[in-house]
Chain A
Amino acid sequence: MEEYHRHCDEVGFNADEAHNIIKECIDGVLGGEDYNQNNINQWTASIVEQSLAHLVKLGKAYKYIVTCAVVQRSAYGFHTASSCFWDTTSDGTCTVRWENRTMNCIVNVFAIAIVL
């Protein structure tokens, strides 16, 4: 019985790489824009879809979940917490906070390993 050996030996989720990818995606979509009720749906959708596409291009055997919350900037309170039940050696998460003059954006990536 032959075993399938992955070509890369990196163990665990590379959070830095994911961080860079997502930051670039957000900059591309929201950079220099002001909060606009009409476009906000489109922006959140494109941020999430682009991040997902880039993460998949990394070519690793992972399932990804990307969550994005964009809030209009004002005086408000916002709390978020996450609890996960997974394999800590192979799975990981990454959170990116981005803000500009009129909006706050929080993007969260969860990566779950597929055991081949």
Chain B
Amino acid sequence: MEKRGRGGKLPANQPAQQPPSTPRKERRPSMFEKEAYAQILRERLRESFHDVQYVEPPFDDSIADLGKEWKSALAKLKFANSYRMEPLKKFQAHSVETKVQQILKESLEDVKYDDKVFSHLSLELADRILLAVKEFGYHRYKFIIKVLFIQKTGQAINIASRWIWDVAWDSWVAAKHETEAYVALALVFALYCE
């Protein structure tokens, strides 16, 4: 079969009685063979005048990889834009502070310092304060609660915190409950999740 390249033209006088004698056409190779694709493409593009420079065989492993990447990207949750630049309700430090102070006072009233009791009391208090802060209903805020118990035995303690956050909506609250034997300190950090 004649293959026409670019710029090929039909000869002006082609005798009619001469049908294009086709040699016995080779059996078209199977689509699933790698090199066959190029040839098939060339056959299909026979009538058009362009060069088939290089045809990338599609039956490669790279195609399978593309599919996997696409699927895993879809699996990650994508949220529609809400166009909200700020929280609906800004974190009010003073109301949270009174609430946390109240919780500390209630749960630590007349509680004597005891090693075993305090180790799980601290966890319990942290969870309780977290629930109370969640009840305030600040949307899209992440909370970190830290509870510290320090026994008063005449030693000095120094606690410092620094942070990098968005000063506009992120804030913190500290509440202290002091008795004769120990000091209880609760820190609440509220960060807006952009």
Contacts and interface: CB of A to CB of B under 8 A. Distances in A.
Contacts of A68: 159-161
A110 B146 CA distance: 11
A4 interface: no
Contacts of B182: 77
B142 A82 contact: no
Contacts of A49: 162
A82 B185 CA distance: 12
B150 interface: yes
A67 B155 contact: no
Contacts of A74: 153-155
B144 A86 contact: yes
A45 interface: yes
A55 B165 CA distance: 13
Given A65-B189, A67-B160, A70-B158, A77 B151 contact: yes
B125 A81 contact: yes
Size bracket of the B interface? 35 or more
B123 interface: yes
Size bracket of the A interface? 35 or more
Nearest to A84: B144
Contacts of B146: 67, 80-82, 108
B165 A65 contact: yes
B115 interface: yes
Interface of B: 113, 115, 118-119, 121-123, 125-127, 129-130, 133-134, 142-151, 153-166, 170, 182, 187, 189, 191, 193-194
22 contacts: A40-B156, A40-B158, A47-B160, A63-B163, A64-B163, A64-B164, A65-B163, A65-B191, A66-B163, A67-B161, A71-B150, A75-B153, A76-B153, A76-B155, A77-B150, A79-B118, A79-B122, A80-B148, A81-B147, A82-B147, A85-B133, A108-B146
Given A82-B145, A86-B144, 16 more contacts: A52-B164, A64-B165, A65-B189, A65-B191, A68-B160, A69-B157, A69-B160, A71-B158, A78-B148, A78-B149, A78-B151, A79-B148, A82-B144, A84-B142, A112-B142, A115-B193
Interface of A: 35, 37, 40-41, 44-45, 47-49, 52, 55-56, 63-87, 91, 108, 110, 112, 114-116
- What 9 pairs between A and B have smallest CB-CB spacing? A83-B126, A81-B122, A77-B151, A44-B160, A79-B149, A86-B142, A48-B162, A72-B155, A85-B143
